[in-house]
Chain A
């Protein structure tokens, strides 16, 4: 620090002559203000002057080095002499500043608020759940000698401290806004896009995983000899690509669609890119603005395509009418990215007069319902779970359509809002979500009589999924 003192001295002299000449302030209070300013004047210029002084210093050194006996020691000597000259003045100034009450200075006030905030943080009780992030928050970590020695305690402590930070949601909002201001429209794989859309990008597909899954699908169809249909919906990132910011970097979904289509041998591949693009081009809202799911309207629009892929006649489809069930839907992408959802969405369900009677059974939980919709789901923090009440490993649906076939479905959540369109066509549907399915698939297949197996996925989920291959593979053993 010694080498910094000379510039301080220069600054101080300037200041006394400059904006606040001695004796100008009348009252004692004005005097305090003056010395405050001097004091902080010291704080800042130290930094800025340090640079210039050193530049000058080093310039001199460079010159000296050019001379004969230049050595690194010259630098030290130079600095030392500068130091001595400045010392006395600085000492005097320090005396004046020492008596200044810290908390009456703005910087001191800042420190005070900081300490106060820390205190509040300790006093405010913990919250169990974050509605915004839709997850449980960390609780105070368990204390044990092992966990302390192993370092787990201190890691968990930090997680707890930041999860329970007072004003956490506001802080996260501040940070994502700041990111936007610096031009970064990406936050955790979600782009803040045009027309209030949050769009999730497609990142690094693990081709090995994908191949494994597709091979498992092929093998499954070959083994069981059940006619198969593989439906894959693209995501907003490709359908609404025009809304992405210019800075967006994402994988081409079209390329992967093609890849999947080529690799599938058993089941008939049905790529929904065409109909969805068409729907979007006509001005339809294909995806929710703040959620990664497609809208029920879009799903309904693709119905003819899917029906023909399933070998169902178009005539037997009954006309359905939309009914809005939620007008202020804010989805998971808002939670994931921290971006605010600037426009809320409406969730529709489709009803028809000719709805079949059916019973939904969850064999694992041993519950029966008479509807595929969930009012609890609608009221929950994720209203999309109005469809099927969210995710369940296995659901069995029996309808009163005795003429219909029997369908086996492997699906992700894109199927949840699509299912109602198919209810009238089948006598029985078994719906498997491989991510939550822990039973033995053999037992189910052995019940027999499946007329068709349907794989129904969106591309982003499909590309990251590892569970389907596992569930399908279980039959081999």
Chain B
């Protein structure tokens, strides 16, 4: 189930919230766990079993590792426990997400004909596997106590707000909240605001801009002018941001409605002054996960320059791979790794001194990066990039301006909303009048519902008698 669906907005959430609020505090975790499993099973009726298996094995190993430490088990054996559970987690992730990619590679390289596995990717597996890993590693490191309640642990892994698209919540940050998460009026109101804000980002901006990008990528090379290609690139960059950060906002908002506070996942990334800065603002929970569990254990930057560069490239290759199982994602990760190394060792100082140049440079790098991200076929990618740089169907045509006329306002609105400015203005306004805020929330919500109805608006198209 996705948040931007009628099923979620008018059936699931109202029922769950009502049940949750009516339940005394002691029973709320049970309600929430049941709701979360239902939520997941709605979209993945079979893979919910996989998630239950993941919950169970991580729960057991958490306890085993802690028990082992108490019984003065040797470090080696503790590490072996950690190794087993880490391998189990990664094996599941690998099997479902990367196996077919690998089979494809082997087939290409060795001209083999291994049939691909008929698997669909279980929704959210990348997210909940990383959450589970952060838990067992932190238990091993002694940073947190193992969770004794299977309900609470199951809830940590499967809680529906962040289950499908993050943020990746670290167990450490939520340990205490799992036991005690009272809901108060201020939290609910903040939650409502964040949820509707995220929903609007997703439905009113991301979906519309996504439509534009789909239309543009479907164009034959002969119609793809430079202006059209750039419009498409801007549209996609904004779409991706609003889609993802909208989802995070909704997740954080839902968390608030349920009494939890998750940390922010996005911080106006398109206002970044360098690529390094961009990655501090984009998908923060993923970046910090890799830093905590891969980069720093490898030695981080407290090693020789050579090793540091190796660490960076390795981490960014993994980051790329995490985003999707194909070669272009790996290249996309490495692409960022290289820019980060350059910023670290070559022109970081220049960027710090020239902030405006830094902004433009960052946007450009990110924009081009997204094209590598969006277009998985290298031939098509080449065509698209050539068109962007004027080696396609010329500079502009009627179509380019037609797109700007039709989508200019949404593109502009998207650009403005990707800065912190509208939020700030809205804040000042609503600080004085909560009624205004509620009015805006209601209007935005109605508009989102209207868009969902419109998208499903499906007149009988065989109308030509």
Let me know if A149 and B459 touch, CB within 8 A.
no
User: A208 interface residue, CB < 8 Å from B?
Assistant: no
Q: What string of 1s and 0s marks CB contacts (under 8 Å) between A163-197 and chain B?
A: 10100100110111010001111101000000000
User: B190 interface residue, CB < 8 Å from A?
Assistant: yes
Instruction: Please indicate the chain B residues that have their CB under 8 angstroms from the CB of A52 in the complex.
Output: 420, 424
Q: Which of A63, A186, A188 has the most CB of B within 10 A?
A: A188
User: A219 interface residue, CB < 8 Å from B?
Assistant: no
Select A51's contact among B208, B301, B423, B433, beta carbons within 8 Å.
B423
Let me know if B267 and A174 touch, CB within 8 A.
no
Closest to A335 in B: B459
Instruction: Please indicate the chain B residues that have their CB under 8 angstroms from the CB of A41 in the complex.
Output: 430-431
Give bound CA distance, A267 to B23, whole Å.
77
Instruction: Please indicate the chain B residues that have their CB under 8 angstroms from the CB of A40 in the complex.
Output: 189, 430-431, 434, 437
Let me know if B434 and A175 touch, CB within 8 A.
no
Select A105's contact among B46, B261, B434, beta carbons within 8 Å.
B434
Instruction: Please indicate the chain B residues that have their CB under 8 angstroms from the CB of A3 in the complex.
Output: 263-264
Instruction: Please indicate the chain A residues that have their CB under 8 angstroms from the CB of B463 in the complex.
Output: 134, 292, 332, 335-336
Give bound CA distance, A56 to B125, whole Å.
35
Instruction: Please indicate the chain A residues that have their CB under 8 angstroms from the CB of B420 in the complex.
Output: 48, 51-52, 55
Q: Which of B186, B295, B401 has the most CB of A within 10 A?
A: B186
Instruction: Please indicate the chain B residues that have their CB under 8 angstroms from the CB of A65 in the complex.
Output: 348
Give bound CA distance, A37 to B451, whole Å.
31
The residues in B between 228 and 277 inclusive whose CB is less than 8 angstroms from any CB of A are 252, 261-264, 267-268, 271, 273-274, 277
Let me know if B437 and A107 touch, CB within 8 A.
yes
Instruction: Please indicate the chain A residues that have their CB under 8 angstroms from the CB of B408 in the complex.
Output: 183
Q: What string of 1s and 0s marks CB contacts (under 8 Å) between B419-435 and chain A?
A: 01001111110111111
User: B79 interface residue, CB < 8 Å from A?
Assistant: no
Known: A51-B268, A94-B186, A171-B454. A106 touches B45 (CB 8 A): no
Let me know if A105 and B464 touch, CB within 8 A.
no
Select A178's contact among B194, B407, B433, B450, beta carbons within 8 Å.
B450
Let me know if B405 and A247 touch, CB within 8 A.
yes
> Distance (Å) between the CB of A246 and the closest chain B CB?
6
Let me know if A44 and B193 touch, CB within 8 A.
yes
Instruction: Please indicate the chain A residues that have their CB under 8 angstroms from the CB of B430 in the complex.
Output: 40-41, 43-44
Give bound CA distance, A433 to B462, whole Å.
14
Known: A62-B277, A135-B459, A246-B405. A165 touches B410 (CB 8 A): no
Let me know if A413 and B424 touch, CB within 8 A.
no
Instruction: Please indicate the chain A residues that have their CB under 8 angstroms from the CB of B398 in the complex.
Output: 249
Give bound CA distance, A227 to B264, whole Å.
74
Known: A154-B42, A182-B409, A336-B463. A117 touches B438 (CB 8 A): no
> At the interface with chain A, which of B92-100, B105-113, B363-371, B440-448?
B440-448
Q: What string of 1s and 0s marks CB contacts (under 8 Å) between A326-363 and chain B?
A: 00000010011010000000000000000000000000
> Distance (Å) between the CB of A44 and the closest chain B CB?
4
User: A113 interface residue, CB < 8 Å from B?
Assistant: yes
Closest to B189 in A: A107
User: A157 interface residue, CB < 8 Å from B?
Assistant: yes
Known: A50-B264, A121-B10, A175-B453. A45 touches B189 (CB 8 A): no
Let me know if B1 and A111 touch, CB within 8 A.
no
Closest to B438 in A: A106
- Please report the total number of B residues contacting A with Cβ < 8 Å: 99
User: B352 interface residue, CB < 8 Å from A?
Assistant: yes
Give bound CA distance, A163 to B457, whole Å.
8
Known: A159-B456, A172-B454. A48 touches B185 (CB 8 A): no
Give bound CA distance, A40 to B413, whole Å.
25
Give bound CA distance, A65 to B433, whole Å.
41
User: A298 interface residue, CB < 8 Å from B?
Assistant: no
Give bound CA distance, A368 to B302, whole Å.
92
User: A118 interface residue, CB < 8 Å from B?
Assistant: yes
Give bound CA distance, A102 to B434, whole Å.
13
Let me know if B437 and A51 touch, CB within 8 A.
no
User: B461 interface residue, CB < 8 Å from A?
Assistant: yes
Give bound CA distance, A163 to B454, whole Å.
10
Closest to A76 in B: B288
User: B300 interface residue, CB < 8 Å from A?
Assistant: yes
> Distance (Å) between the CB of B113 and the closest chain A CB?
29
Give bound CA distance, A117 to B445, whole Å.
12
Let me know if A54 and B267 touch, CB within 8 A.
yes
User: A47 interface residue, CB < 8 Å from B?
Assistant: yes
Known: A36-B434, A390-B465. A111 touches B188 (CB 8 A): yes
Q: What string of 1s and 0s marks CB contacts (under 8 Å) between A459-476 and chain B?
A: 011000000000000000
Let me know if B450 and A171 touch, CB within 8 A.
yes
User: A148 interface residue, CB < 8 Å from B?
Assistant: yes
Let me know if A175 and B451 touch, CB within 8 A.
yes
Let me know if B277 and A176 touch, CB within 8 A.
no
Let me know if B17 and A115 touch, CB within 8 A.
yes
Let me know if B447 and A178 touch, CB within 8 A.
yes
The residues in A between 24 and 63 inclusive whose CB is less than 8 angstroms from any CB of B are 36-37, 39-52, 54-55, 58, 61-63
Let me know if A19 and B277 touch, CB within 8 A.
no
Give bound CA distance, A61 to B281, whole Å.
13
Q: What string of 1s and 0s marks CB contacts (under 8 Å) between A83-124 and chain B?
A: 000000000001001111110011111110111011101100
Give bound CA distance, A115 to B291, whole Å.
42
Closest to A1 in B: B261
> Distance (Å) between the CB of B50 and the closest chain A CB?
14
Give bound CA distance, A88 to B349, whole Å.
39
Let me know if B193 and A114 touch, CB within 8 A.
no
Known: A71-B301, A157-B7, A336-B463. A119 touches B186 (CB 8 A): no
Q: Which of B9, B43, B398, B454 has the most CB of A within 10 A?
A: B454
Q: List 30 A-B contacts (CB under 8 A).
A: A4-B264, A40-B434, A43-B189, A43-B437, A44-B426, A46-B190, A48-B424, A51-B423, A55-B271, A58-B281, A71-B302, A72-B291, A72-B296, A94-B184, A106-B439, A107-B192, A107-B441, A113-B442, A114-B445, A115-B17, A118-B10, A134-B460, A135-B458, A158-B5, A172-B454, A183-B409, A185-B406, A246-B405, A249-B398, A332-B459
Additional A-B contacts beyond A172-B450, A332-B463 (6; CB < 8 A): A101-B185, A109-B438, A115-B14, A115-B17, A171-B449, A178-B447
6 interchain residue pairs of minimum CB distance: A51-B420, A106-B438, A391-B465, A44-B427, A247-B405, A135-B460
